[in-house]
Amino acid sequence: MSTTLRPNSRSQPRPLRRSPNLLKYVQDVGQVSAAALLGTTMIASSVLAGGLVGLAISFRNLPDVRVLRNYVPSETSYIYDINGTLLYSLHDEANREVVDTSEISPHLKRAVLAVEDSYFYSHNGINPSSVGRAMLANVEAGSTVEGGSTITMQLVKNLFLTPERAISRKVAEAVLALRLEQIFSKDEILEMYLNQVYWGHNNYGVETAAQSYFNKSAKDLSLPEAAMMAGLIQAPESYSPFYNYQSTKQRQAIVLNRMRQLGWITPDEEAAARDAPLLVGEIKSFRSSISPYITEATVQELKQRFGNDAVVKGGMRVQTTVDLGMQQMAEATVQRHNARIRNVADQMALVAIDPRTHFVKAMVGGVNYQESQFNRAIQAYRQPGSAFKPFVYYTAFATGRYTPASSIADTPVSYPDGYRYYSPRNYDGSFMGNIPIRTALEVSRNVPAVKLGQAVGINQIIELCRTLGITSPMPAVTSLPLGAVDLTPMEMAGAYATFASNGWYSKPTFIVQVTDSSGNVLLDNTPQPQLVLDPWAAASLTDVLQGVIARGTGRAAQIGRPAAGKTGTTDSQRDVWFVGYVPQLATAVWIGNDDYSPMRSGATGGTYAAPVWQDFMRQALVDVPVENFRRPSEFVQP
């Protein structure tokens, strides 16, 4: 069965917590005595703070930093297969995964402080000496060329202010920084900063950056890696190792040198880190999905349920029902057989469902997603032809008036149809006379199916289809038993999966569970099967459908174990099908042309679709024990 995905704890944002105080790393690096420096700093801070208090009156419309108590930054959502393998990540502007400071390497925290704000733990949000130095540089240049921002100031700028370089913006930045330091601890501010800052290549926050640059979590970064990442903050793309490795190493050396000056690393550590090669990963922010037909369908379902913003910004952890190994088998099978019949048909779709859960295990919506994103497995409505007949025969068995051994006349017949008569014909134009129902379905005779449909009632057949989860429009026409209706491969696979389970039904789904990044369950699709069919009638149908594969129109689908299924071919050869199952897996295969043009004369579900089904099922069931179907005699006949 399935294994519920437990999202990695590193990806779960938590309430802000205090990490071990980094103040012990901060040392006096100047030649001035500690007492003199402290006195100078206090005087400068008082003067500057006093001026800012006055200016703050003019900034009454500034944002209230207290909103950050409940602030949750936008996060990347992740989609996994049923075993926890990442299939796809999606995000809005910011590709981010939030972590707390205990999950960030001490090397990185020290490196960032060294190069961005070495007095972080000793100032109150602004650093007078840095501000003064920046003001002098700006006056000399005649424009704003240096910021002098502390980490706290950078954080409020990123969260609340525009990036313009102006004195008014700088003052607002300082006022907000003072306010922020009154409400949050230093560790909380550092945590917000490291999760907020931009690291290049659409990576926001330290965790996604570490994963992108080094294929590891932020907590596992080494000193050389940490120094490189800290150096990126000033100009991420300019110093990116993906663009200019030499510039990256030069910038890294500056960070290491500053750390050594501060006494946070030794000269030997500096030299070793500077000389160590950087084994960088790859840009991950814009990677395509491993299985795009699956993930695109999943995303659309999530957006319909939760809305776009929740999906692309909410940090969802989505466990799909799909088994990636089986999915890749299905994709390869479709491509292989498309190469074989591409001169006959240009498209193919495959859906595989576990009858025990109605979980979709594999879905292929076309032969090439890059060429066409249209998902024929769930969006293409095509006539199933004779693959619809099992719905008619089950309805007959469920009345209690028919068994597989019952006789039915394969003889000419006509029915009123408006101003004319409808006279069904068999595929080969012949008639066989009175034959057992079993034989009629095994060799797919059309006339007996139409007669049986009239005997049990077309509306009863439609009601069965609704019970099996088929929602497509279904006209109550005399020819309905021959598949005169447009259905999707997903609907066909789901319905046959209920036959395979002897009548137990759950709604087919792509999604097992959805949580937010804190692990709170947003959606739980644990199967809740209901018995919707008569078990004897379902087992009787399965018994007959085994004969279709053993000696009927589906002999090309034989897989060396008990299997049941039905071919489907429309009169015009526009659509060919094979839908079949074993107790553990039901699979529908459709083949046709997107423009509805007919295939070559003689194209049938048995010659084209059944071999595809056989190929896929043999691969998918390699490690699955052979299991027999339950016999009709095990149930009570209605």
Q: Which residues are catalytic?
A: 116, 386
Which helix (H) or strand (E) segment holds residue 466: the answer is: helix 458-467
Alpha-carbon distance of 175 to 170, in angstroms, equals: 9
- CB atoms closer than 10 angstroms to residue 147: 17
Alpha-carbon distance of 627 to 629, in angstroms, equals: 7
Which helix (H) or strand (E) segment holds residue 329: the answer is: helix 324-341
Distance of alpha carbon 431 from its chain centroid, rounded? 52
Distance of alpha carbon 335 from its chain centroid, rounded? 23
Alpha-carbon distance of 439 to 170, in angstroms, equals: 86
Q: Is 113 exposed, middle or buried (0-12, 13-18, 19+ CB in 10 A)?
A: buried
Contacts (Cβ under 8 Å, ≥6 apart) of 559: 582, 614, 617, 618, 621
Contact call for residues 622 and 567 (beta carbons, < 8 A): no
Alpha-carbon distance of 589 to 258, in angstroms, equals: 64
249 φ/ψ angles, rounded to the nearest 5 degrees:
-65, -35
Q: Which regions of 365-460 does DSSP assign to beta strands (E)?
A: 407-410, 415-417, 420-422, 433-436
Residue at token pair 């926001």: 204
Residue at token pair 């919707």: 532
Write the DSSP string, 259-322.
HHHTTSS-HHHHHHHHHS--------TTPPPSSHHHHHHHHHHHHHHH-HHHHHHB--EEEES-
Q: Give the residue from 106, 98, 97, 117 showing the smallest Cα distance to 19.
A: 106
Alpha-carbon distance of 500 to 390, in angstroms, equals: 12
- CB atoms closer than 10 angstroms to residue 46: 11
Q: Look at phi and psi of residue 199 and say left if phi exceeds 0, alpha if psi is from -120 to 50, else beta.
A: alpha
Residue at token pair 């709604």: 507
401 φ/ψ angles, rounded to the nearest 5 degrees:
-95, -10
Strands 95-96 and 203-204: parallel
Alpha-carbon distance of 462 to 289, in angstroms, equals: 38
